[in-house]
Structure 1
Amino acid sequence: MGRRRAQKRARPGILPVAAALLAVAAVVVWLLVRQDGSVMPGYAGGPVAMLAAFVACRRIGSMIVVARPIRGFWRLFSQSAICVGIGSVGSFVFANNDPGLSPYMAVPTLVGVVMSVLAFFQLPVERRSGLRWTQLILDGATVAVAGALIYWYVVLDMADPSISPVTQTGAAVVGVGALISLVVIGRAAMSPASTVDSVSLRILAVAPLVAVATTVLLIGGGETGRLIISVLGVPVVGAAMALAAYRQQVVLGRPAAAPAAPKARSIYNALPLVAVIATAALVITVSARQLGWHQRVVIIGAVLIAAFVVARQLLGLRANDKLLVGIRRQQAELEHLAMHDPLTGLANRARFGAVLDERLDAHRPAAVLLVDIDDFKMVNDTMGHAIGDQLLYEVALRLRNHSTVNHLPSRLGGDEFAVLLDTDEAGPAEDAAGRILAALAVPFKVGEHQLLANASIGVALAGPGDGGDEVLRNADIAMYAAKAAGKAAWARFEPRMRNEVVNHARLGSELHNAIIRHELFLAYQPVFDIVTGAMSGAEALVRWKHPVRGNVPPGDFIPVAERSGLIVPLGSWVLREACEQLAKWHAEYGSAAIRSINVNVAARQLREAGFVDEVAAVLSDTGLIPANLVLEVTESSVIDGRQVRETLEALHELGVRLALDDFGTGQSSLSLLRAFPVDVLKLDKSFVDGICDGEDRGRLAVAAAVAQLAEYLDLYAVAEGIETAAQLDRLRAMGYRLGQGYYLAKPLPPDEMAALMTQTARTVAAA
């Protein structure tokens, strides 16, 4: 239901067109059934039709998904509709009451006409040579002269004696101007640079045609004809404007299709020719009245020669017209591709940035939602890029369906999308983010698969003086904050987030230098056999002693290392350092030394193509056997994709033992035991904390179940975070054999670790 409602919101509105056509129909019915009396009802259709035209045109004028020239064009037409509507309201009000005020009511109508003319100056024009401009001027001049002659010799000859000469002349000037405007509209409709739909422009040509009809009937028509055009003209023009706007909305609702190239040949090209033919007919008619037979033959021959020359020119231009159609179609396709994503049909980064900058430059409200698909890489790795591309297309379709006409959904690249909103208030922007999350939470049917494509969304509101790049950067920062909070969520940008990013970047730079300057060192936390008291191994933990900051907590610099990619060189250093230290202990203490060392490995390291070779090289260089090394991985890294799975399988075949760290906290722990080679389960500290609390039976049950599961699967179970004697006793009673924690021993430097190691070995041997 939600999807259908969203589609309905995005669908162009037909109601204004229906209202305008209904107004025209009502006036026609009134004309058919009217009797002598008040003419006021006949003028009621004008305001209704113009209000409908205003709504339809204003709808496009407020859409941020379209280019500025289109918005400016239709915004001026909406203002023109208001002005003409005011004039029609005056005509309605004063139709019977005060005819003397009627001329004043023409003022807002004329203002509306001027605005509609100015709208065409908003449209970009193609580059024309001097010859092309001359051709355009000559076309207009031809139509103007022909129109003036026809009005002078034909229309004015039929003038009603009651019409004053001033009114007749003014009407003739308006009629000729309307004919010229037809040329302007035609050229705009055929221009390859025009951004407004050419069919919409052709529909708008109804207005000048109505103007011509009005002037002709005003000068030479009878009382009935003048009444018909006076009550029907404005509703017809309003209906044409509403219909043209609706057509424009329909075209804008097809983002996946490239705009069609304007046709080179059109009926508007024939206007100058029609003017020539009409003038020629007028010349023949006038000469037939006033000249002799010989003079008539000469004039008719001259007209025929001119017609033959024109026909010859038309045939010569036909081939050029076909060539121009192909060129303009290619130009339109290239312009579309330059501003749209070829896979999804959405606006691309270039168009999104241009529209965002345009709004900010105009000091208009704007907000950006940056949408990043969570774990999309896993879809590509496990199912292939074809399925991934199909999923991106479906995501784009859902974004489009759940965006209003005032939103601009875009694909910035990869699995990153953005939506531009016409607001700078937190509430509407957050509501839009929530709607998108809800829409994406519904599974997608991609081929034979049902896939989830949850997303993390960053919300950024444009502030005073903000540039487009800054707003996008803020949305990006907020999006990463949403991912850090657990994914499938949205976060709104706050200034403190930027400070955190700056601090992270600074800390990342200092960490890079720390690796080079040997500011890092390892501490070792023993792993004990909690039954015999023997030390079975140790976990290598990286520490950083900053020359200025002092000891930097791992919780501060490890996330920075993972986000910046420094986790790869850092992890390589930890691996080699830990193995070299174990080799030294073996050489120095022999059987008293621990047999294995645990090293934490990040998902980024497992994705490195040469990681298995690196491990093998370190073991070879240090003289250790694979069983001496335990690599600890988290559940999130294990499910990171096909490449990680293959790396873990290769390590297991090498003989390296694998430990699943923080076991029990993920959502797929049991399935991982079947899918991946695991040797050790490390019960997360959060479950150890609750085993002595009689009220927390859930954590107690999990801790007991992990011990039984490890025994059943012939795996080692290690309890982490033991801090009290009661916890130790309870874990021992549950069947745990191995444990580590501050109660047993804190992380120690190598020399203290060696002392404890030898002391423990002597104590166990004596016992």
Structure 2
Amino acid sequence: MTGPVVPAARRAGTGLAPLLIAVAATAAVAVWLVVRDPQDVVIGYAGAPIAMIAAAWSVQRLGAMVMLPRVVRAFWRQLGHAAGILLIGNAAALAMANNDAGMNPYVAVPTLLGMFWAMSAFLRLPMGDRTSLGWLRVLLDLATVAVAGAMIFHYVVLNSAPPGTELTTRATAAVVGVAGLLCLVIIGKAAVRPDAPIDAVSLRILTIPPMVAVAVAVLLIGSHDTARLMISVGGGPLVALSLSAAAYRQRLTLRRPATEAPVRRRRSVNEFLPFAAVLGTAVMVVVVAAREVQGRERVLIVGAVLVTTLVVARQLLGMRENRRMLAGLRDQQAELRRLAMTDTLTELANRTRFVAVLTERLAAHEPASVLLIDIDDFKMVNDTMGPALGDQLLYQVAQRLRANSGARELPARLGGDEFAVLLDVEEVDSAEEAAARILQALAEPFRVGEHHLLAHASLGVAIAGPGDSADEVLRNADIAMYAAKEGGKAAWARFEPRMRQDVVNHARLGSELHNAIIRHELFLLYQPVFDIVTGRLHGAEALVRWTHPTRGFVSPGDFIPVAERSGLIVPLGSWVLREACEQLARWRHEHGDGAIKAINVNVAVRQLREPGFVDEVAAVLSETGLLPQNLVLEVTESSVADGRQVRETLHALHEMGVRLALDDFGTGSSSLSLLRAFPVDVLKLDKSFVDGIADGEDRGRLAVAAAVAQLAEYLQLSAVAEGIESEAQLERLREMGYRLGQGFFMSKPLPADQAGALMGAPAPVVA
């Protein structure tokens, strides 16, 4: 059983809880700074680990969402690792809270490692051309900022350090400050792209940690004790709060409708850091020159700085022009990329994106399961109501899949009426629960235009195993989906290895069946149909049989489904039709008026869909010398309900004079409604209603059997009872008013010569 359907947004969560924890920890630290006890700073340092745990949890969960592109998941996952490293530094600071842990190596080393690990996460984002020239530009910008930052720190910050400050402390502060500046440069380059995969607001929020790093480097060296305590205690919670807020913002963007246009990112201020570094260095050089250099050398230095400033200004203007030229191309590339990965009708991911995401997950050895969904009898809806309404139904199915898929699930339309959902699970129970949830959601009626439609689906579940490729997982899900259809539709089935062997066996049997048709290994038996009142032979039903050279007798229950699935049912049905008509012509030639008047031939729905089937029947009748009334074509209720093309074929056959029999009558859900739209001549009561009617205990079967007889009499149709296996059944059917019947009690299926012998019998065959 499945629980109530929960919207995807609620199941996925918004990441609000970690953000609230980080806010609470930061607020608590701020309150402590106001009412602090100078003798006990442990409480103040305790806020950072708490907030950082919440931040690491939020960022790591975001990095595990399967619906995000791989580069985005990798970025947030690595940022989560950086948060974990910073957590170690926060814990060390807490442990050494009463020993001035500001620049202690046990605190500084994890902090630096966390900063560089976060920096490498940003370097994984697209920042420009992935060519050698593009990387060279990035390295030159970083080198410019690093050199300028080091000079400024050396001349301004370190020179203002209190006397006696250790060299290690000064060097650590400089490295932290310069690393913070480099992070700002990298974030700026990642944020400036209009097609950046990370949300622009999230990237701006993520500029807070490097700014905090720069502030820490400056205040811990050149400030008084109160400012040093504030930045030491408050820096960690502030960094954690920014990470949680950025992750929360990224989650909110996932809740936007897919059709929402992407927000154009503004130019990041951080992008101008390399130029600011050049100008800042130039200003510092001018100041130093004014103090320490005299005469013409001072003029030379000032002139060089002025030339450098003009070159920087010229570069900025060139960048502006380049951006204008490239803006249109980038917009077109983004739109083409979106169209290439999105199904235009449903706005879900298409097959290309689905396979790409599945391939990425398998390559990363991450859990993956696939739900393959096929709408049952969609062709009938499309044929009867038109393709426009069919498209509306597909769109609504897609929206329902989207609403009932979590943030860790990727719904997609693979093509036609075939959908899929990629799950980030490998547990059987979780995959099966998701399958039941999807089917329950699709079982509710759809309102399409003025119609309320039921669109049940068959679903296959495949769990990726070690070494599986995306094609193998999809193929396994497809096999399971067809198993669900064969089990009765509107159900799900989970792939098992034996199913693949069944498919292989079916394929092998299909190949052998193809050869059997060519090699004339098939033959017909004829099931006599009797007038159960007079006991005389009335007709016969042609039944195909197969004797395999090595397998021996192959049951029709084995090879007929294979023929229907492979399409061989069309040539097989054509052979049966011609062979049966030729045999009836031979019987009429041999026995004259004693021969049966018509031969019954079963016709599959695939044959009725063939455009030239009516012409084929007319040609066979003409070539064998039979009249249309000498042929009875038996069709199932599901065939009649298949669609407009089948109904038109049946009406054309009936107008030609061919008689039509509704086989297995009473077993379908729309038997009575079919009689109004279907040109039926014969009703064949299904064997399941004949079984057990003799003892009279099953009142339901008795009622249906009697009702079919009365219905046939009222509509002036022939009624045939199938599967008569005892004299008691025969007598009860006579009492109900049945005139025709067939079954093993009267005769099993016979070869042509034995069936012909019954036609020459002078007395009634059945007493």
Band of TM-score, shorter chain: over 0.9
Q: Which of 524, 543, 546 is residue 544 of structure 1 equivalent to?
A: 546
Counterpart for residue 142 of structure 2? 140
Counterpart for residue 38 of structure 1? 40
Counterpart for residue 118 of structure 1? 120
Deviates more, 1:6-15 or 1:718-727: 6-15
Counterpart for residue 309 of structure 2? 307
**397 and 721 in structure 1: CA distance in 2 versus 1, 3 angstrom threshold:** same
Deviates more, 1:418-427 or 1:190-199: 190-199
1:25 is matched by which residue type in structure 2? Answer: A
1:632 is the counterpart of 2:634? yes
Return the offset for 1:766.
14
Counterpart for residue 233 of structure 1? 235
Return the offset for 1:384.
2.2
Query: C-alpha distance in 2, partners of 1:494/1:402?
Result: 26
1:134-173 mapped onto 2 (5 Å cutoff): 134-161=136-163, 163-173=165-175
Query: C-alpha distance in 1, partners of 2:74/2:131?
Result: 26
Contact 2:18 2:55 in 1 (8 A): yes
Counterpart for residue 222 of structure 2? 220
Query: C-alpha distance in 2, partners of 1:368/1:734?
Result: 53
Return the offset for 1:98.
8.2
Contact 1:189 1:262 in 2 (8 A): no
Q: Which of 640, 649, 668 is residue 647 of structure 1 equivalent to?
A: 649
Query: C-alpha distance in 1, partners of 2:737/2:458?
Result: 42
Equivalent residues, number: 765
Query: C-alpha distance in 1, partners of 2:101/2:424?
Result: 46
Deviates more, 1:558-567 or 1:474-483: 474-483
1:724 is the counterpart of 2:739? no
Counterpart for residue 758 of structure 2? 756
Query: C-alpha distance in 1, partners of 2:172/2:160?
Result: 16
Return the offset for 1:218.
1.2
Counterpart for residue 570 of structure 1? 572
Return the offset for 1:686.
0.8
Query: C-alpha distance in 1, partners of 2:293/2:355?
Result: 70
Deviates more, 1:554-563 or 1:100-109: 100-109
Counterpart for residue 321 of structure 1? 323
1:607-756 mapped onto 2 (5 Å cutoff): 607-756=609-758
Contact 1:339 1:347 in 2 (8 A): yes
Q: Which of 177, 180, 189 is residue 178 of structure 1 equivalent to?
A: 180
Query: C-alpha distance in 1, partners of 2:196/2:101?
Result: 43
Return the offset for 1:191.
5.1
**736 and 356 in structure 1: CA distance in 2 versus 1, 3 angstrom threshold:** same
Return the offset for 1:671.
0.7
Q: Which of 418, 430, 434 is residue 420 of structure 2 equivalent to?
A: 418
1:365-514 mapped onto 2 (5 Å cutoff): 365-514=367-516
1:48 is the counterpart of 2:26? no
1:332 is the counterpart of 2:311? no
**143 and 377 in structure 1: CA distance in 2 versus 1, 3 angstrom threshold:** same
Contact 1:190 1:262 in 2 (8 A): no
Contact 2:535 2:766 in 1 (8 A): no
1:460-493 CA-partner distances (Å, limit 9, x unpaired): 2233333332222222111111111101111122
* Secondary structure of 2:384 counterpart: helix
Counterpart for residue 24 of structure 1? 26
Contact 1:204 1:241 in 2 (8 A): yes
Percent identity reads: 65
Return the offset for 1:300.
5.2
Counterpart for residue 347 of structure 2? 345
Query: C-alpha distance in 2, partners of 1:315/1:102?
Result: 45
Return the offset for 1:708.
0.5
1:325-351 CA-partner distances (Å, limit 9, x unpaired): 222222233333333333333333333
Query: C-alpha distance in 2, partners of 1:97/1:267?
Result: 38
Query: C-alpha distance in 2, partners of 1:280/1:472?
Result: 62
Contact 1:721 1:740 in 2 (8 A): yes
Return the offset for 1:423.
3.1
Return the offset for 1:59.
0.8
**273 and 108 in structure 1: CA distance in 2 versus 1, 3 angstrom threshold:** closer
1:261-317 CA-partner distances (Å, limit 9, x unpaired): 975843233212222332333233334444569876665555445434433332333
1:203 is matched by which residue type in structure 2? Answer: I
1:593 is the counterpart of 2:595? yes
Query: C-alpha distance in 2, partners of 1:527/1:149?
Result: 106
Query: C-alpha distance in 1, partners of 2:418/2:579?
Result: 39
Deviates more, 1:583-592 or 1:50-59: 583-592
* Secondary structure of 1:763 counterpart: coil
Query: C-alpha distance in 2, partners of 1:100/1:459?
Result: 55
Query: C-alpha distance in 2, partners of 1:191/1:498?
Result: 47
Query: C-alpha distance in 2, partners of 1:100/1:71?
Result: 33
Contact 1:704 1:734 in 2 (8 A): yes
Deviates more, 1:323-332 or 1:302-311: 302-311
Query: C-alpha distance in 1, partners of 2:491/2:732?
Result: 39
Deviates more, 1:260-269 or 1:466-475: 260-269
Query: C-alpha distance in 2, partners of 1:243/1:32?
Result: 24
Return the offset for 1:714.
1.2
1:602 is matched by which residue type in structure 2? Answer: A
**416 and 129 in structure 1: CA distance in 2 versus 1, 3 angstrom threshold:** closer
* Secondary structure of 1:64 counterpart: coil
* Secondary structure of 1:96 counterpart: helix
Return the offset for 1:69.
2.9
> What's the TM-score once normalised by structure 2's chain length?
0.94
Return the offset for 1:64.
2.4
The runs of 5 or more residues in structure 2 that have no matched partner are: none
1:483 is matched by which residue type in structure 2? Answer: K
Q: Which of 187, 191, 198 is residue 189 of structure 1 equivalent to?
A: 191
**245 and 428 in structure 1: CA distance in 2 versus 1, 3 angstrom threshold:** same
Deviates more, 1:462-471 or 1:236-245: 462-471
Deviates more, 1:59-68 or 1:76-85: 59-68
Deviates more, 1:428-437 or 1:331-340: 331-340
**742 and 591 in structure 1: CA distance in 2 versus 1, 3 angstrom threshold:** same
Query: C-alpha distance in 1, partners of 2:90/2:460?
Result: 49
Query: C-alpha distance in 2, partners of 1:766/1:405?
Result: 70
Query: RMSD across aligned C-alpha pairs, in angstroms?
Result: 2.7
Return the offset for 1:622.
1.9
**75 and 133 in structure 1: CA distance in 2 versus 1, 3 angstrom threshold:** closer
The runs of 5 or more residues in structure 1 that have no matched partner are: none
1:549-585 CA-partner distances (Å, limit 9, x unpaired): 2221111111111011000111111111111221222
**115 and 621 in structure 1: CA distance in 2 versus 1, 3 angstrom threshold:** same
Contact 1:287 1:296 in 2 (8 A): yes
Query: C-alpha distance in 2, partners of 1:373/1:44?
Result: 56
Return the offset for 1:381.
1.3
Counterpart for residue 583 of structure 1? 585
* Secondary structure of 1:2 counterpart: coil
Return the offset for 1:663.
0.5
Contact 2:93 2:102 in 1 (8 A): no
1:20-99 mapped onto 2 (5 Å cutoff): 20-34=22-36, 36-96=38-98
Contact 2:536 2:765 in 1 (8 A): no
**327 and 631 in structure 1: CA distance in 2 versus 1, 3 angstrom threshold:** same
Deviates more, 1:573-582 or 1:255-264: 255-264
Counterpart for residue 521 of structure 2? 519
**551 and 25 in structure 1: CA distance in 2 versus 1, 3 angstrom threshold:** same
* Secondary structure of 2:419 counterpart: strand
* Secondary structure of 1:48 counterpart: helix
Query: C-alpha distance in 2, partners of 1:404/1:586?
Result: 68
1:236 is matched by which residue type in structure 2? Answer: L
1:281 is matched by which residue type in structure 2? Answer: V
Query: C-alpha distance in 2, partners of 1:392/1:355?
Result: 23
Query: C-alpha distance in 2, partners of 1:523/1:766?
Result: 20
1:531-565 CA-partner distances (Å, limit 9, x unpaired): 12222211111111212222211111111110110
Contact 1:455 1:488 in 2 (8 A): yes
Deviates more, 1:138-147 or 1:712-721: 138-147
Query: C-alpha distance in 1, partners of 2:136/2:582?
Result: 86
Deviates more, 1:108-117 or 1:474-483: 108-117
